[in-house]
Amino acid sequence: MKKNFAMKKLYYSISEVSRITELEQYVLRYWETEFEHLRPAKNLSGNRIYTNRDIKLILYIKKLLREEKYTIEGAKKLIKNYSVKEQVEVTKKEETDEVKPVKHTNSYSNEMSLFSNEESEKKDADPKNEILKEDLLELRDFLKNLLDDMQ
């Protein structure tokens, strides 16, 4: 179940998430009390700010509860087992990674290479950096849109 978000942002308000996920705001607030993995941050005003990961988790919970007919307790177990399994896999991967010599180059070019489309398309890229690359590409697109709006 993949949704195309009409607006690509770093953070979304509860009303935006409600529209994206087609869930009432009170349902989102209730799910926050039930699912420990769903804990959106709050801004200085105390309003909830959701990330894309939060939205993906909400859509997964919605799928479990509404489509696959799990109870809340059953969905909690699946989400908990999934996150534990994911952590174990990351730990195993870190243990099996060999220590590679660090190649010292211009740090600016290294940072900018994360924004390069060619770099992100490499199949042999380090899986640890994939999340960082996705976040940086999102940030780049967000900043480009912001600059375009200002001009």
Query: Looking at the DSSP assignment, which residues form a beta bridge with residue 12?
Result: 50
Q: How far is CA 61 from CA 47, 50, 52, in A?
A: 22, 15, 14
Q: For residues 38 and 58, is the Cβ–Cβ distance under 8 A?
A: yes
- Phi and psi for 12 in degrees, rounded to 5? -125, 145
* Mean pLDDT, residues 87-91 taken together: 57
- Please give the average per-residue pLDDT across 60-73, as a whole number: 94
Identify which has the larger pLDDT, 127 or 14: 14
Question: Can you tell me the mean pLDDT for 44-73?
Answer: 94
Asked if residues 42 and 49 have their Cβ atoms less than 8 Å apart, the reply is yes
In the prediction, which pLDDT does 150 show? Answer: 74
Higher pLDDT, 145 or 101: 145
